[in-house]
A and B are shown apart, each in its own frame.
Chain A
Amino acid sequence: GDSVTQMEGPVTLSEEAFLTINCTYTATGYPSLFWYVQYPGEGLQLLLKATKADDKGSNKGFEATYRKETTSFHLEKGSVQVSDSAVYFCALSGRSQGNLIFGKGTKLSVKP
Protein backbone atom coordinates (compact mmCIF):
# COMPACT_ATOMS: atom_id res chain seq x y z
CA GLY A 1 0.00 0.00 0.00
CA ASP A 2 0.86 3.65 -0.12
CA SER A 3 3.34 4.85 2.49
CA VAL A 4 5.52 7.79 3.50
CA THR A 5 8.95 7.57 5.09
CA GLN A 6 10.58 10.58 6.63
CA MET A 7 13.83 11.02 8.50
CA GLU A 8 13.84 10.22 12.17
CA GLY A 9 14.20 13.06 14.59
CA PRO A 10 14.74 14.91 16.65
CA VAL A 11 16.67 17.44 14.60
CA THR A 12 18.40 20.17 16.56
CA LEU A 13 19.78 23.22 14.75
CA SER A 14 21.11 26.63 15.64
CA GLU A 15 19.25 29.69 14.46
CA GLU A 16 20.00 30.62 10.82
CA ALA A 17 21.17 27.09 9.98
CA PHE A 18 20.05 25.31 6.80
CA LEU A 19 17.30 22.74 7.22
CA THR A 20 16.57 19.61 5.24
CA ILE A 21 14.01 17.02 6.29
CA ASN A 22 13.96 14.05 3.95
CA CYS A 23 10.73 12.46 2.79
CA THR A 24 10.23 9.61 0.34
CA TYR A 25 7.02 7.94 -0.66
CA THR A 26 5.59 4.79 -2.18
CA ALA A 27 2.33 5.14 -4.06
CA THR A 28 0.36 3.90 -7.02
CA GLY A 29 -0.76 6.54 -9.42
CA TYR A 30 0.07 10.21 -9.00
CA PRO A 31 -0.50 11.38 -5.45
CA SER A 32 -0.52 14.92 -4.19
CA LEU A 33 2.21 15.57 -1.63
CA PHE A 34 2.04 17.75 1.46
CA TRP A 35 4.05 19.05 4.36
CA TYR A 36 2.18 19.80 7.56
CA VAL A 37 3.53 21.46 10.69
CA GLN A 38 2.37 20.93 14.24
CA TYR A 39 3.33 23.52 16.84
CA PRO A 40 3.22 22.46 20.51
CA GLY A 41 -0.31 22.02 21.78
CA GLU A 42 -1.90 22.67 18.41
CA GLY A 43 -3.35 20.77 15.49
CA LEU A 44 -1.60 20.26 12.19
CA GLN A 45 -1.43 23.12 9.71
CA LEU A 46 -0.78 22.81 6.02
CA LEU A 47 2.68 24.22 5.28
CA LEU A 48 2.93 23.56 1.55
CA LYS A 49 1.81 21.18 -1.15
CA ALA A 50 2.58 19.97 -4.66
CA THR A 51 0.16 18.18 -6.92
CA LYS A 52 2.30 16.94 -9.80
CA ALA A 53 5.85 16.04 -10.72
CA ASP A 54 8.37 18.90 -10.68
CA ASP A 55 5.97 21.20 -8.83
CA LYS A 56 7.61 23.22 -6.08
CA GLY A 57 5.56 24.08 -3.03
CA SER A 58 6.70 27.02 -0.93
CA ASN A 59 5.52 28.94 2.11
CA LYS A 60 7.14 30.94 4.95
CA GLY A 61 10.61 30.33 3.51
CA PHE A 62 10.10 26.55 3.30
CA GLU A 63 10.30 24.75 -0.03
CA ALA A 64 9.81 21.22 -1.32
CA THR A 65 9.95 19.87 -4.87
CA TYR A 66 7.93 16.88 -6.06
CA ARG A 67 10.52 14.51 -7.55
CA LYS A 68 8.83 11.61 -9.30
CA GLU A 69 12.09 9.99 -10.40
CA THR A 70 13.34 9.69 -6.83
CA THR A 71 9.86 9.53 -5.23
CA SER A 72 10.90 12.27 -2.86
CA PHE A 73 9.53 15.51 -1.42
CA HIS A 74 12.29 16.84 0.83
CA LEU A 75 11.57 19.93 2.93
CA GLU A 76 14.17 22.71 2.98
CA LYS A 77 14.63 26.12 4.53
CA GLY A 78 17.67 28.29 4.09
CA SER A 79 17.73 29.92 7.53
CA VAL A 80 15.66 28.53 10.38
CA GLN A 81 14.32 30.55 13.29
CA VAL A 82 13.50 29.59 16.86
CA SER A 83 9.82 29.98 15.94
CA ASP A 84 10.19 27.11 13.41
CA SER A 85 10.54 24.63 16.28
CA ALA A 86 7.73 22.14 15.71
CA VAL A 87 6.96 18.66 14.41
CA TYR A 88 6.89 18.36 10.62
CA PHE A 89 4.85 15.74 8.82
CA CYS A 90 5.16 14.64 5.21
CA ALA A 91 1.95 13.24 3.72
CA LEU A 92 0.47 11.97 0.50
CA SER A 93 -3.03 11.75 -0.85
CA GLY A 94 -3.86 9.17 -3.46
CA ARG A 95 -6.71 9.78 -5.87
CA SER A 96 -8.44 6.59 -4.81
CA GLN A 97 -8.24 7.33 -1.13
CA GLY A 98 -10.25 9.63 1.02
CA ASN A 99 -7.55 10.47 3.50
CA LEU A 100 -3.95 11.54 3.87
CA ILE A 101 -1.23 9.05 4.72
CA PHE A 102 1.27 10.63 7.07
CA GLY A 103 4.90 9.97 7.81
CA LYS A 104 5.89 9.54 11.44
CA GLY A 105 6.84 13.16 11.92
CA THR A 106 10.18 14.84 12.51
CA LYS A 107 10.64 17.04 15.53
CA LEU A 108 12.72 20.15 14.88
CA SER A 109 14.24 22.17 17.70
CA VAL A 110 15.97 25.45 16.83
CA LYS A 111 18.26 26.94 19.48
CA PRO A 112 19.04 30.67 19.66
Chain B
Amino acid sequence: DTAVSQTPKYLVTQMGNDKSIKCEQNLGHDTMYWYKQDSKKFLKIMFSYNNKELIINETVPNRFSPKSPDKAHLNLHINSLELGDSAVYFCASSQETGGSPLHFGNGTRLTVT
Protein backbone atom coordinates (compact mmCIF):
# COMPACT_ATOMS: atom_id res chain seq x y z
CA ASP B 1 0.00 0.00 0.00
CA THR B 2 1.18 3.50 -0.84
CA ALA B 3 2.12 5.36 2.34
CA VAL B 4 1.44 8.90 1.09
CA SER B 5 -0.87 9.11 -1.88
CA GLN B 6 -1.97 12.21 -3.71
CA THR B 7 -4.38 12.71 -6.56
CA PRO B 8 -4.43 13.58 -9.32
CA LYS B 9 -0.96 12.82 -10.67
CA TYR B 10 -1.40 15.30 -13.52
CA LEU B 11 -3.64 18.34 -13.62
CA VAL B 12 -3.96 20.57 -16.67
CA THR B 13 -6.27 23.54 -16.40
CA GLN B 14 -6.84 27.05 -17.63
CA MET B 15 -6.05 30.32 -15.92
CA GLY B 16 -8.77 31.51 -13.58
CA ASN B 17 -10.07 28.04 -12.72
CA ASP B 18 -10.29 26.59 -9.20
CA LYS B 19 -8.79 23.16 -8.53
CA SER B 20 -8.04 20.84 -5.63
CA ILE B 21 -5.32 18.31 -4.93
CA LYS B 22 -5.99 15.57 -2.40
CA CYS B 23 -3.52 13.85 -0.10
CA GLU B 24 -3.87 10.92 2.24
CA GLN B 25 -1.34 9.13 4.44
CA ASN B 26 -1.76 5.74 6.07
CA LEU B 27 1.35 5.92 8.27
CA GLY B 28 -0.41 7.23 11.35
CA HIS B 29 1.72 10.38 11.26
CA ASP B 30 0.70 13.51 13.12
CA THR B 31 2.12 16.09 10.72
CA MET B 32 1.44 16.70 7.05
CA TYR B 33 2.93 19.17 4.60
CA TRP B 34 2.56 20.69 1.19
CA TYR B 35 5.69 21.55 -0.80
CA LYS B 36 6.01 23.24 -4.16
CA GLN B 37 8.78 22.22 -6.57
CA ASP B 38 9.52 24.63 -9.39
CA SER B 39 10.95 23.87 -12.81
CA LYS B 40 14.50 24.09 -11.43
CA LYS B 41 13.70 21.42 -8.84
CA PHE B 42 13.79 23.92 -5.96
CA LEU B 43 11.57 22.73 -3.09
CA LYS B 44 9.77 25.16 -0.83
CA ILE B 45 7.39 24.48 2.00
CA MET B 46 3.93 25.96 1.69
CA PHE B 47 1.97 24.64 4.65
CA SER B 48 2.26 22.27 7.55
CA TYR B 49 -0.50 20.78 9.70
CA ASN B 50 -0.08 18.97 12.99
CA ASN B 51 -3.12 17.04 14.21
CA LYS B 52 -5.39 19.04 11.91
CA GLU B 53 -4.03 22.38 13.08
CA LEU B 54 -2.07 24.74 10.85
CA ILE B 55 1.46 25.23 12.20
CA ILE B 56 3.36 26.58 9.22
CA ASN B 57 1.98 28.98 6.66
CA GLU B 58 4.76 30.36 4.53
CA THR B 59 4.35 33.36 2.28
CA VAL B 60 1.88 31.85 -0.11
CA PRO B 61 -0.89 33.74 -1.94
CA ASN B 62 -4.19 33.41 -0.14
CA ARG B 63 -5.55 31.79 -3.30
CA PHE B 64 -4.00 28.64 -1.82
CA SER B 65 -5.99 27.16 1.03
CA PRO B 66 -5.15 23.91 2.80
CA LYS B 67 -7.86 21.87 4.46
CA SER B 68 -7.34 19.00 6.87
CA PRO B 69 -10.57 17.09 7.59
CA ASP B 70 -8.65 14.64 9.79
CA LYS B 71 -5.02 13.97 10.57
CA ALA B 72 -4.69 11.46 7.71
CA HIS B 73 -5.76 13.93 5.04
CA LEU B 74 -4.47 17.29 3.88
CA ASN B 75 -6.01 18.74 0.74
CA LEU B 76 -4.88 21.80 -1.18
CA HIS B 77 -7.39 24.04 -2.87
CA ILE B 78 -6.25 26.69 -5.33
CA ASN B 79 -8.50 29.51 -6.50
CA SER B 80 -8.10 31.65 -9.61
CA LEU B 81 -5.16 29.71 -10.98
CA GLU B 82 -2.33 31.67 -12.58
CA LEU B 83 0.40 30.66 -15.04
CA GLY B 84 3.00 30.95 -12.27
CA ASP B 85 1.23 28.27 -10.25
CA SER B 86 2.49 25.66 -12.72
CA ALA B 87 4.76 23.36 -10.72
CA VAL B 88 4.89 19.98 -9.06
CA TYR B 89 3.16 19.92 -5.68
CA PHE B 90 4.26 17.34 -3.14
CA CYS B 91 2.41 16.20 -0.08
CA ALA B 92 4.47 14.75 2.77
CA SER B 93 4.01 13.48 6.30
CA SER B 94 6.18 12.90 9.35
CA GLN B 95 5.84 11.41 12.80
CA GLU B 96 6.58 14.63 14.66
CA THR B 97 7.37 18.18 13.77
CA GLY B 98 11.10 18.37 14.43
CA GLY B 99 13.91 16.07 13.32
CA SER B 100 11.79 13.32 11.80
CA PRO B 101 12.23 12.32 8.18
CA LEU B 102 9.48 13.15 5.75
CA HIS B 103 7.62 10.65 3.64
CA PHE B 104 6.64 12.13 0.30
CA GLY B 105 3.88 11.39 -2.15
CA ASN B 106 4.72 11.07 -5.84
CA GLY B 107 3.65 14.60 -6.66
CA THR B 108 0.97 16.33 -8.69
CA ARG B 109 2.18 18.07 -11.82
CA LEU B 110 -0.02 21.14 -12.27
CA THR B 111 0.05 22.90 -15.63
CA VAL B 112 -1.87 26.13 -16.02
CA THR B 113 -2.45 27.24 -19.60
Contact = CB atoms under 8 A, between A and B. Distances in A.
A104 B40 contact: yes
Nearest to B100: A93
Interface of B: 4, 31, 33, 40-45, 48, 50, 55-56, 90, 92, 97-107
A68 interface: no
A87 B41 contact: yes
**Size category of the binding interface on chain A:** 20 to 34
Interface in A20-73: 31-32, 34, 36, 38, 41-46, 49, 51
Interface in A64-112: 87, 89, 93-100, 102, 104-105, 107
Contact of B4 (A34, A43, A87, A98): A43
Given A38-B41, A51-B99, 5 more contacts: A41-B106, A46-B103, A94-B98, A102-B43, A105-B43
B6 to A, nearest CB: 9
Given A87-B41, A105-B42, A98 B99 contact: no
Given A43-B4, A43-B106, A43-B107, A104 B101 contact: no
B98 A45 contact: no
Interface of A: 31-32, 34, 36, 38, 41-46, 49, 51, 87, 89, 93-100, 102, 104-105, 107
Contacts of B92: 43-44
Interface centre among A31, A51, A89, A99 (most CB of B within 10 A): A99
18 contacts: A34-B101, A41-B106, A42-B107, A43-B4, A43-B92, A43-B105, A44-B43, A44-B102, A46-B103, A97-B97, A98-B50, A98-B56, A98-B97, A99-B56, A100-B102, A102-B43, A105-B41, A105-B42
Contacts of A102: 42-44
A46 B98 contact: no
Which of A43, A93, A95, A104 neighbours the largest number of chain B CB atoms within 10 Å of its CB? A43
A95 B99 contact: yes
Contacts of A98: 31, 48, 50, 55-56, 97-98
